[in-house]
Structure 1
Amino acid sequence: MTSLNNVKKRKTTYYPVLIIGAGATGIAAGSQLRQKLGLKEFKIVDRQSGIGEFREYLNEISEKYQLASHIQLNTDVKELRWIEADAQWEVTLQHLVPGTGDLSTRDREDRATASGRESVYLHEEVVRAKAVISCVGILVEPNPWPSSIQGRNTFKGDVFHSARWRDDIDLNGKDVVVLGTGCSAAQIVPSLLKEPYKVKSLTQIGRSAPWVMPRLSEPFGRENYAIYAPTVYKWLPFLGFINRVLIYLLVEVIWSTVFQMKHKKWRAAIETQQLAMMKEIVPEKYHDIMTPDYPYGCKRRVFDTEWLPSMQNSKFMLTNRPIQAVDGKELILGADGKATSGQQRINADIIILANGFEATRWLHPLSVYGREGAALQEVWKQRGGPAAYMGMAVDGFPNFFIAVGPNTANGHHSLILTSENTVSYILKMIKPILSGKVDRVEVKKQAVTAWTEDVKKDLEKTVFVGCRSWYMDEQGYNSTMYP
């Protein structure tokens, strides 16, 4: 292993295009570079030990477009620095001990501190690229266990985040606590209450209730859909297309009505319907806890058909009492939001954090330095928050493009659709660079400013302003949603 302080000088490798991230968007960028531009010289780097979430499908795409030789895993991008004289990006890569890139940045640094940097980092490499496409995801860096909890570092059990699942921890016969009531928690809880798990008890702790919807893509029941849909769509693919079109049209109707602040009657109708459904399924003792105190759609909705019925399980308990302190393997819960008096103690062998991600820290922990050494994070800080023209380009940072950047997500549609369209647009910007017609492409500051102001103004018309959510930072700046 080579110390970072004693890295040997190597010949600088050059790539016409460097893609950061081998998730769905990175694979889309790579496949379109080959398919649309016929480019054979590019590199996709990813800090993790494997490619993104939908692995079987993405592996098929990678094989179809011959991307395997372009993908470099266990490689973290530490820094991007624009070299004005050469009109290129200088990229500092950190080669990681295989598997350590699957950890969060915080956990990697903790390991490096405890066991030495050589336990995480092998060596650094500096490469050059004419253009860089950031395909860094939004939900990447998990939120930590809340720092307000007294004695949290003295907990005697195991703690892990849902996005960093620990298969090596035996849950059988254990008192398990799930922290959170969002989409991840709604998937985890019913699964843990079924085979092959045999938990002793499962306590779910949440701050606020989500709006829960049945799944849209299971028209004939979940079991039947899972059994027959793959075969039907294989032989009659147009039915799959029709199903997707119908879902598309349905959610567009919901967006243009329920998600707009002015349509209170539409929103009230769907809220009444969903509350009635919840109360039919969930035990009465949880009705108050499971009643949202904010408008429908303001926070991310939960689409699920198993979570609510699982609350009838005798091993399950739901509470909105906050964790105040830790005492060995006991959690001390305080009063809930309705001034319930006294404290409550519950046993916890294992805590699973389903408390979300650092979604508003765009590109974190990547450092990007543009013209005259300007730091992108500092530019965003001075401007009040992350913003980019069409979510993909910032003035002062030539030939640097962000796929799925600030204000590109929405509350009703697939992000895959957004990322594919964004990548297609970025390729139009890259094409003249690769052909040598231009040396650099850079958006104008006034274009970024005008775009950002339009987004802010239009967000005020949507339901997203009706509550505090993970879409916003601590100052209430919404850099996530596209209105």
Structure 2
Amino acid sequence: MSKLGPRIIIMGAGSGGLTCAIALKQKYGYTNFTIYEKFADVGGTWRSNIYPGCSSDVTMPVYCLSTELRNWNASHLPQKELLAYWIELAQKHDIYPHIIFNRLVVSAEWNHDTHLYDIILEDTVTRARSESTAHVVISAVGILETPRYVSLPGLENFKGDTFHSARWDYSKELSGKRVGVIGNGASTAQFVPKLSEDPSTHIIQFCRTQNWMIPNVLYKRYSKFRRTLFHWFPFLMRVSRWSHFALFESMYIIIFSNQATRWLATKLSQLYMTAVAPSKYHNVIIPNYTLGCKRIIFDSGYLKALNLSNIQLNYNGIEMVTSDGITTRTGENIPLDVMIFATGYTADTYPISIKGSTNKTIQKYFEDQGGPKAYLGTVIPGFPNLFLICGPNITTGHTSVVWSNEVQVNYIMQLIQPIIEADAISIEVSEEAADAYDAKIQKRLSNSVYMDCNSWYRVGGTGKISNAFPGSSSLFYMWLRKPDWRHFSGIGAESWIKKKRQTSERLNSLGFLAFAVALGIGIYGYALRGAESAPPLKGWVEATVSYLF
């Protein structure tokens, strides 16, 4: 092992990877890490998604690191400003020297003899390959990383331009064109209104399923007075973060955990959608599934834009693609010049070939388990020293992924501490713990709204729910607050884990003791109310503790 300590590699320089790198430096002062990024700069989602109107749909007070709050000028920021935030953080914390850009991790395989991962890398520009090793591998490739293209009969015959909304091609001129948008998810709710601002662009949006929409009432430009106040009293930024977090947690209670309030929210959403959208679409835009089953879309102008003459919705289904357009299942031929695929991402597979101690890849493990599966969305049995950021069943569906990434990174920092401090060679979760955890969350999810529809939260759209967490963000934090070391083992880690278990047991005992003493004092006080005399307080406490322990 190097004098610098075990080598850590992080795959991906998006928000998750940068959060992890910053935590390594802040928590441990650790610098022996490398980030491999397949693109030419940091930013992840906010580097790659550049479609018109792209912005956060979660408010900025919670869509940032807790250690890097800002006096924001608006509740939601556009893509360029979000990207600038992450670039600023990478510069501030001197992360750039640790990043190798245009480098794709092709594969990683655990070596039983060296207790290292043997890694194959590829230069995405020259395609030249190289090799490396690492003691610890942290995957920060995210869930929504690989754009999903639907297979349409005859697509190869289309003579016009095509591209995916996640890889927007600004070289394609859309003015004066007939543009077919395939899909109607969250991204289309942002870019379709922007495209419609050019009256010469005629948009035909081919929709498969409906989406519940609610007004984006949280969107606002912050006043100069508010910003001045936050400048002179910085603690207000923390108060704002807490208040926004509480607001999103209330959204979980209203929509995901209470049938009565969900029914009311559903009615309000329906009233809003029919009030804003043109009447000719009322019978096709209202979903027939439970509110919350799919991602709820915050409407920032989409429904209003449907009133424009250059936007047309088509729910008739696509039969085939022709050389000059699309034929629907009703037999209608619709001429097109450009097709934009807004068909989301592949969210139920793992894109990198990583083999663990059982010579099985992550993807093969997922397939054997009926879909993606990881203990607390972070570690997988049979894969020592491998940690996932934004792994299976991490998405909360109602709050900030940046917040959940930060919680998860804090958990990972605790797991890798014995490796960094040379108290262990490897750390690995037990198969029994992973099975028990998955059984617990799948039981909770089986009674959730996510079971009511086809969505990207589920394997293949209808299978196992692998991309949703079955609870509130507060519960997520509690579960990942600190490791339960009873569920872990590792090479050379026996004494560390034993010490951690003993410390945990002592803390639990002290907590129980404090409760017992408080209980005893309470009972003593109650006894005083009904008796002229009572035993001495010291004796009462000793008797209580003796009885309970």
**Within-5 A mapping of 1:215-234:** 215-218=216-219, 222=220, 224-225=221-222, 233-234=230-231
State whether structure 2 residue 307 is matched by structure 1 residue 343.
no
**Within-5 A mapping of 1:198-237:** 199-218=200-219, 222=220, 224-225=221-222, 233-235=230-232, 237=234
Paired residue type of 2:251 = I
Q: 1:155 aligns with which of 149, 152, 158?
A: 158
State whether structure 2 residue 123 is matched by structure 1 residue 128.
no
For the 8 Å contact 1:91–1:128, the answer to whether it is kept is: yes
Q: CA deviation at 1:230?
A: 5.9
- 1:159–1:461 distance in 2 versus 1, CA, 3 Å: same
Which stretch of the first structure deviates more once superposed, 380-389 or 239-248?
Answer: 239-248
State whether structure 2 residue 280 is matched by structure 1 residue 277.
no
**Structure 1 unmatched ranges of 5 or more:** 1-12, 98-120, 335-341
Match of 2:364 in 1: 378
For the 8 Å contact 2:39–2:101, the answer to whether it is kept is: yes
State whether structure 2 residue 357 is matched by structure 1 residue 352.
no
CA distance in 2, matches of 1:330, 1:226: 47
**Within-5 A mapping of 1:88-103:** 88-97=116-125
State whether structure 2 residue 454 is matched by structure 1 residue 468.
yes
Q: CA deviation at 1:330?
A: 2.1
Q: CA deviation at 1:239?
A: 4.5
RMSD (Å) for aligned C-alpha atoms: 1.9
For the 8 Å contact 2:357–2:383, the answer to whether it is kept is: yes
Q: CA deviation at 1:465?
A: 1.1
Match of 2:543 in 1: none
For the 8 Å contact 1:15–1:43, the answer to whether it is kept is: no
- 1:323–1:15 distance in 2 versus 1, CA, 3 Å: farther
Match of 1:183 in 2: 186
Match of 2:468 in 1: 481
**Within-5 A mapping of 1:319-338:** 319-334=314-329
CA distance in 2, matches of 1:186, 1:137: 22
State whether structure 2 residue 166 is matched by structure 1 residue 171.
no
Q: 1:22 aligns with which of 9, 13, 26?
A: 13
**Within-5 A mapping of 1:261-276:** 263-276=258-271
What SS does structure 2 have at the residue aligned with 1:132?
strand
CA distance in 2, matches of 1:426, 1:21: 16
Residue deviations 1:455-476, cap 9 Å, x none? 1011123211111111111251
Q: 1:143 aligns with which of 145, 148, 161?
A: 148
Q: CA deviation at 1:15?
A: 6.3
- 1:187–1:230 distance in 2 versus 1, CA, 3 Å: farther
What SS does structure 2 have at the residue aligned with 1:90?
strand
For the 8 Å contact 2:195–2:201, the answer to whether it is kept is: no
CA distance in 1, matches of 2:277, 2:290: 20
Q: CA deviation at 1:321?
A: 1.4
**Within-5 A mapping of 1:453-464:** 453-464=439-450
**Within-5 A mapping of 1:101-116:** none
State whether structure 2 residue 39 is matched by structure 1 residue 43.
no
State whether structure 2 residue 429 is matched by structure 1 residue 429.
no
Paired residue type of 2:215 = P
Q: CA deviation at 1:374?
A: 2.1
Q: CA deviation at 1:134?
A: 0.3
What SS does structure 2 have at the residue aligned with 1:133?
strand
State whether structure 2 residue 35 is matched by structure 1 residue 31.
no
For the 8 Å contact 1:174–1:350, the answer to whether it is kept is: yes
Paired residue type of 1:124 = R
- 1:191–1:233 distance in 2 versus 1, CA, 3 Å: farther
Match of 1:369 in 2: 355
State whether structure 2 residue 432 is matched by structure 1 residue 441.
no
Q: CA deviation at 1:272?
A: 0.8
Match of 1:288 in 2: 283
Q: CA deviation at 1:349?
A: 0.7
CA distance in 1, matches of 2:199, 2:14: 33
Q: 2:95 aligns with which of 56, 67, 80?
A: 67
Paired residue type of 1:322 = G
CA distance in 2, matches of 1:161, 1:183: 14
Match of 1:306 in 2: 301
**Within-5 A mapping of 1:391-410:** 391-410=377-396
For the 8 Å contact 1:94–1:123, the answer to whether it is kept is: yes
What SS does structure 1 have at the residue aligned with 2:132?
strand
For the 8 Å contact 1:49–1:74, the answer to whether it is kept is: yes
CA distance in 2, matches of 1:237, 1:14: 37
CA distance in 2, matches of 1:15, 1:179: 47
CA distance in 1, matches of 2:5, 2:170: 39
CA distance in 2, matches of 1:462, 1:204: 31
Match of 2:522 in 1: none
Q: CA deviation at 1:245?
A: 2.6
Q: CA deviation at 1:316?
A: 0.8
Paired residue type of 2:380 = V
Q: CA deviation at 1:331?
A: 1.0
Match of 1:316 in 2: 311
CA distance in 1, matches of 2:314, 2:228: 42
Match of 1:250 in 2: 247
For the 8 Å contact 1:216–1:247, the answer to whether it is kept is: no
CA distance in 1, matches of 2:398, 2:230: 24
Paired residue type of 2:96 = A
CA distance in 2, matches of 1:398, 1:352: 41
- 1:124–1:244 distance in 2 versus 1, CA, 3 Å: same
What SS does structure 1 have at the residue aligned with 2:428?
coil
CA distance in 1, matches of 2:217, 2:288: 24
CA distance in 1, matches of 2:157, 2:233: 57
**Structure 2 unmatched ranges of 5 or more:** 47-81, 471-549
Match of 2:475 in 1: none
Identity between Structure 1 and Structure 2 (%): 32
For the 8 Å contact 2:318–2:328, the answer to whether it is kept is: yes
CA distance in 2, matches of 1:138, 1:407: 10
Paired residue type of 2:253 = S
- 1:230–1:460 distance in 2 versus 1, CA, 3 Å: farther
Paired residue type of 1:210 = N
Q: CA deviation at 1:203?
A: 1.1
CA distance in 2, matches of 1:214, 1:440: 49
What SS does structure 1 have at the residue aligned with 2:405?
helix
- 1:238–1:203 distance in 2 versus 1, CA, 3 Å: farther
Q: CA deviation at 1:236?
A: 5.1
CA distance in 2, matches of 1:156, 1:84: 53
For the 8 Å contact 2:9–2:33, the answer to whether it is kept is: yes
Per the normalisation by structure 1, the TM-score is 0.85
